[in-house]
């Protein structure tokens, strides 16, 4: 490896580190009430191609935070960041297409962007992709595919995905029925504040033995302790 190559690589890393730090500083300014200064700084970074700054600008324009709400601007910034492979921007862009917000509604485009973000382990995209497959939005209903994406989002701690995953196990939809795993995921989701899991959990427990409920609760405790990893391995 030549000295020239090493110097170039070091300069690139320093540049990226500096940009990342500046984005962080911009958000600190924003949180400190210096909104105009923060937005101006993010805009400069975004114009220079910083994907994180582009994504943040998209979020600000999408929500009308510190700037006038402008879906067209939000979409433009998300597109710039998404084109660079920024998973969060890809998710946001997918949501804009699904909701028809600032752009014509398109399930096809939503699936495309969610798919890219989900493959990059973006949990929100994994959850939305699972819902679209479950409900047949833009695609033939596919509970097996839905279960796959719910499971990936659930393993990242998404309580909505955990609730849906538990429901799939309870109904035997897209997966072999397993009430113990159903209770486990629903119990975890309930513990994370997913209130819609409470009723399903109560109804499910009425169809289970006390031993099965106890087993499911033990699995839930273990799953949480293991940061939602390998939770179904013990079954």
pLDDT, one tens digit for every residue, the chain (235 residues): 443 433 233 333 334 444 446 888 988 988 899 889 999 999 999 999 999 999 999 999 999 999 999 999 999 999 999 999 999 999 999 999 999 998 999 999 999 999 999 999 999 999 999 999 999 999 999 999 999 999 999 999 999 999 999 999 999 999 999 999 999 999 999 999 999 999 999 999 999 999 999 999 999 999 999 999 999 987 7
- The beta-strand segments (E) located in the chain are none
d(CA 91, CA 147): 19
C-alpha–C-alpha distance, residues 105 and 185, integer Å = 33
DSSP state of 24: H
The structural domains of the chain, with segments of one domain joined by +, span 50-120, 127-235
> If residue 20 lies in a helix (H) or strand (E), which one and from where to where?
helix 3-31
Does this model's pTM top 0.85? My answer is yes
What is the rounded CA–CA span in Å between residue 106 and residue 175? 29
Biggest CA–CA distance in the chain, Å, is 70
Q: Report the C-alpha gap between 162 and 61 in whole angstroms.
A: 30
CATH class of the domain whose range is 50-120: mainly alpha
Q: Report the topology of domain 127-235.
A: 1.25.40
Query: Rounded CA gap, 130 and 116, in Å?
Result: 13
């Amino acid at each position: 490896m030549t000295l020239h190559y090493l110097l170039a690589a070091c300069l690139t890393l320093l540049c990226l580190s500096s940009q990342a730090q500046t984005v962080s500083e911009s958000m600190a300014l924003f949180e400190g009430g210096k909104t105009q200064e923060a937005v101006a700084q993010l805009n400069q970074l975004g114009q220079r191609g910083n994907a994180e700054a582009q994504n943040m600008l998209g979020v600000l324009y999408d929500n009308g935070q510190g700037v006038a709400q402008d879906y067209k601007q939000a979409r433009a910034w998300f597109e710039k960041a998404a084109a660079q492979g920024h998973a969060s921007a890809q998710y946001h862009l997918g949501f804009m297409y699904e909701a028809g917000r600032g752009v014509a509604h398109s399930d096809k485009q939503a699936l495309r962007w969610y798919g890219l973000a989900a493959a990059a382990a973006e949990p929100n995209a994994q959850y939305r992709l699972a819902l679209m497959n479950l409900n047949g939005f833009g695609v033939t209903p596919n509970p097996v595919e839905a279960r796959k994406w719910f499971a990936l989002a659930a393993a990242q701690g998404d309580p909505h995905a955990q609730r849906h995953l538990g429901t799939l196990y309870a109904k035997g939809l897209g997966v072999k029925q397993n009430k113990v795993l159903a209770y486990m995921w629903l119990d975890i989701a309930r513990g994370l504040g997913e209130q819609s899991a409470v009723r399903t959990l109560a109804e499910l427990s009425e169809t289970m033995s006390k031993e099965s409920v106890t087993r499911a609760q033990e699995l839930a405790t273990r799953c949480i302790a293991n940061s939602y990893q390998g939770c179904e391995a013990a079954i």
